[in-house]
């Protein structure tokens, strides 16, 4: 199920569809974003993604996730994976790329669907190291 959910999430990010993203979370979900306080609850996740996807001026052109491991029992599964992204910052026409890792905690719902109960992600590319001229490592440690 993770590949299908990652594909749905990625397509929604690229199209700026924050409502589809929000529909993938439980009502009491927690999203641990980089450089921001936790987004607690579906309403906060919706508003945070709305700000990021429609109000910030940032435009995603690609986001792909790759599941590396899934473990857990019963109605809770933990997914660990990697991502690659391409996006354009506000007031820029130059595409930027990023890659990193994520953890998703999936919870099976009463109707049999799976939704995100918690997630977090971060880049492998340290902006401070990059600014100092060091080459960041890729997902293979190279």
Q: Residue 84's pLDDT band (boundaries 50, 70, 90)?
A: very high
pLDDT tens, position by position, 104-123: 999 999 999 999 999 999 99
- Whether 93 has a pLDDT exceeding 70, the answer reads yes
pLDDT tens per residue across span 56-71: 888 889 999 999 999 9
- Check pLDDT > 80 for residue 125: yes
Sign of torsion over alpha carbons 87, 30, 104, 100: positive
Between 21 and 139, the higher pLDDT residue: 21
pTM: 0.84
pLDDT greater than 70 at residue 131: no
HSE-CB of 62 using CA atoms within 13 angstroms = 10
- Torsion over CA: 124, 48, 9, 95 (sign): negative
N- to C-terminal Cα separation, the chain: 30
pLDDT of residue 137: 57
Nearest CA among 122, 124, 117 for reference residue 39 = 117
Question: Does residue 13 have a pLDDT over 60?
Answer: yes
Residues 6+ apart with CB under 8 A from 19: 46
Give the rounded percent of residues in the chain with a pLDDT score beyond 90: 65
With b for 16 or more beta-carbon neighbours within 10 A and e for fewer, the 21-49 pattern comes to: bbebbbeebbbebeeeeebebbebbbebb
């Amino acid at each position: 199920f993770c590949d299908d959910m990652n594909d749905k999430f990625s397509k929604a990010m690229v199209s700026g569809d924050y409502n589809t993203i929000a529909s993938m979370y439980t009502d009491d979900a927690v999203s641990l974003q980089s450089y921001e306080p936790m987004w607690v609850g579906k309403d906060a996740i919706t508003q945070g993604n709305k700000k990021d996807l429609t109000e910030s001026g940032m435009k995603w052109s690609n986001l792909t996730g790759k599941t590396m491991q899934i473990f857990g029992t019963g109605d809770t599964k933990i997914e660990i994976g990697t991502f690659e992204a391409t996006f354009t910052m506000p007031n820029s026409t130059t595409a930027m790329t990023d890659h990193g890792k994520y953890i998703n905690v999936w919870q099976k719902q009463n109707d049999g669907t799976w939704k995100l109960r918690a997630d977090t992600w971060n880049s492998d590319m340290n902006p401070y190291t990059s600014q100092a001229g060091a080459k960041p490592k890729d997902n293979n440690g190279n």
